[in-house]
Chains A and B, each alone.
Chain A
């Protein structure tokens, strides 16, 4: 591995020859790894107010899914609210990971995949391969589409296929995909949050919410039943699914860039296929700002405040709210109908969600049951929109920068290629194959998804501590937390495998 510049110093001259972006020999650059050095540019000013909307909406859309609405309510009903301390650790860890992902993306305008390639290119190819193996299966559509079937009677495979085609068409027609998606997801998540609050207000009780919240502070609680071959892998999987799981945090760096945060302002946004011709030339690497300049550092602190607000209030807050609300709903449902608890225990996801809906209908009128199913469908829709965009964005970014000859195409073409590829494959699998992936490799996919989370913690440590100038590197405490994350994810995964012979569930 190449050594970067001496800490805190930027060097001038010799950008790699033959690159797309013009790089005069006198230009000051920041060298990071063996790849092309980053030219020094001005850091734009951070938004003047701590504004409520940001690219975190994507992370929330991806992260608030089955973990929050099903897996954690299930664990609470089975092991008591005290088990939620593990959720608190999982989500808080993810908030710190988010801030560290943002550090690299905002400082350079590069994705974390590019950062990984600067450290050691095979690491990036590992993530490229894991993304294809794990995320091309359309199984994530099933929960939302099944809820829609329960509401409307339309078979779930039909609505899932129609939904897939619609997503492809809309994303292809959009002028700037990021803007379209931020608008749509903001409205959907806004509705979800407002609606969840209203339903929780109608169904829950004071004691439910007290036990749910105080349960988060029973650090160390671990009932003996949870330490079994049946439940331990599920607990580990639930911790991994607290907030964004798998590679979702890595994709967040691409959304941050397209939103124009930090040095991402110097990188053009990805356009829909119909407007691909209007896309500006994508630079062959990111940029760095002058960390020796006090004014630039002042602006950097402004950006860090902005993203910290995003991480704490929007990401941590919304994830907590939805989980607390759904846990309260599950507790209320199990009081109404003991059947709910039995179904949750047996792992019958769709049946358990339907039973919860029925119990709300019995408690607060038929509308409440429908509202609950509507939320499950909405969560599924959010996750699907976010996932398809993120997968295509990540693969297009890696292909454009690191596959020989790919720069002949525009980023928008590559994005559209991956998008339609995953849509066509998804439809074929929905019609003819196993939606979650072939049964024989399900364990491998579950393993890879959690392994990627431990791996990206290691990548974050390497990238942020070796590829960034010293004044903007993470502090020791942050490094310790991210290091803990790596040990936590990889350790639990391997313990589950070695002790029980089972990967996460």
Chain B
């Protein structure tokens, strides 16, 4: 179980970072911490959870690494749901409306934005994942296998340069 959870870390981190951006900046510029924390949590937790699930799919080889289409399909569903959870959470904690006025329109719009999110997610994930796997692979055979796939790719690129 722990081995699998470790595979989910890079995806969860990238997902959570996207959600934390707004809250962290709010805290830096002196906004009430409670407000900043609520917005951050509402976005970072669901995006982090979905990011972690996608990391597991990538790590287990069910989704091909470094390729855009399957990641975009995953987030086409995951991003709107994560946003909806965030809206409901923020509305419930801070008071005010819990659901958006037009839920279908809201989800459709978030679906379009999800393509941009997918691109950024994949971009950052491909930067972070190899470093993380290198750290944990000694005690984690699943991470070792995934790392090997990155290493094989890097070897081919290095051979091409020679």
Q: Measuring CB to CB, which residues of chain A are less than 8 angstroms from any residue of chain B?
A: 44-53, 151, 183, 186-187, 189-202, 204-206, 209, 213, 260, 265, 313-314, 317-318, 321, 325, 365-368, 370-371, 374
Which partner residue on chain B sits nearest A199 by CB separation? B22
Contact call A47/B123, Cβ cutoff below 8 A: no
Contact call A260/B127, Cβ cutoff below 8 A: no
Contact call B124/A52, Cβ cutoff below 8 A: no
Contact call B26/A370, Cβ cutoff below 8 A: yes
How many whole Å from B3's CB to the nearest CB in chain A? 25
How many whole Å from B44's CB to the nearest CB in chain A? 10
Contact call A365/B109, Cβ cutoff below 8 A: no
Q: Confirm or deny: B74 has a beta carbon within 8 angstroms of a beta carbon on chain A.
A: no
Contact call A186/B127, Cβ cutoff below 8 A: yes
Q: Measuring CB to CB, which residues of chain B are less than 8 angstroms from any residue of chain A?
A: 14, 17-19, 21-23, 25-26, 28-29, 31, 35-36, 39, 43, 64-68, 79, 83, 102, 105-106, 108-110, 112-117, 119-124, 126-127, 153, 156-157, 159-162
A-chain residues with CB within 8 Å of residue B26 when the two chains form the complex? 365-367, 370
Contact call B120/A197, Cβ cutoff below 8 A: yes
Tell me the interface secondary structure of chain B in the complex: helix
How many whole Å from B134's CB to the nearest CB in chain A? 15
Contact call B127/A194, Cβ cutoff below 8 A: no
How far is it, in angstroms, between the C-alpha of A374 and the C-alpha of B29 when the chains are bound? Answer: 12
Contact call B120/A194, Cβ cutoff below 8 A: yes
How many whole Å from B156's CB to the nearest CB in chain A? 5
How many inter-chain residue pairs (CB < 8 Å) link A and B?
Answer: 146
How many whole Å from B112's CB to the nearest CB in chain A? 5
How far is it, in angstroms, between the C-alpha of A51 and the C-alpha of B152 when the chains are bound? Answer: 13
A-B contact pairs, 10 of them (CB 8 A): A47-B156, A49-B64, A52-B126, A194-B117, A205-B109, A317-B115, A321-B116, A325-B113, A365-B22, A374-B21
Tell me the interface secondary structure of chain A in the complex: helix
Contact call B123/A53, Cβ cutoff below 8 A: yes
The answer, among B35, B68, B120, for a CB contact under 8 Å with A365, is B35
B-chain residues with CB within 8 Å of residue A206 when the two chains form the complex? 102, 105-106, 108-109
The answer, among B36, B79, B127, B157, for a CB contact under 8 Å with A367, is B36
Contact call B161/A195, Cβ cutoff below 8 A: no
Contact call A194/B17, Cβ cutoff below 8 A: yes
Contact call B127/A183, Cβ cutoff below 8 A: yes
Contact call A47/B153, Cβ cutoff below 8 A: yes
How far is it, in angstroms, between the C-alpha of A13 and the C-alpha of B1 when the chains are bound? Answer: 65
The answer, among A197, A318, A371, for a CB contact under 8 Å with B117, is A197
With A206-B105, A260-B161 as given contacts, are A52 and B116 in contact (CB-CB < 8 Å)?
Answer: no
Contact call B67/A49, Cβ cutoff below 8 A: yes
How far is it, in angstroms, between the C-alpha of A53 and the C-alpha of B128 when the chains are bound? Answer: 13
How many whole Å from A491's CB to the nearest CB in chain B? 33
A-chain residues with CB within 8 Å of residue B162 when the two chains form the complex? 265
How far is it, in angstroms, between the C-alpha of A192 and the C-alpha of B123 when the chains are bound? Answer: 11
With A260-B161, A371-B21 as given contacts, are A313 and B116 in contact (CB-CB < 8 Å)?
Answer: no
Contact call B116/A325, Cβ cutoff below 8 A: yes
Contact call B23/A209, Cβ cutoff below 8 A: no
How far is it, in angstroms, between the C-alpha of A47 and the C-alpha of B121 when the chains are bound? Answer: 21
Contact call A260/B22, Cβ cutoff below 8 A: no
Contact call B160/A366, Cβ cutoff below 8 A: no
B-chain residues with CB within 8 Å of residue A365 when the two chains form the complex? 22, 26, 31, 35, 39
How many whole Å from B159's CB to the nearest CB in chain A? 7
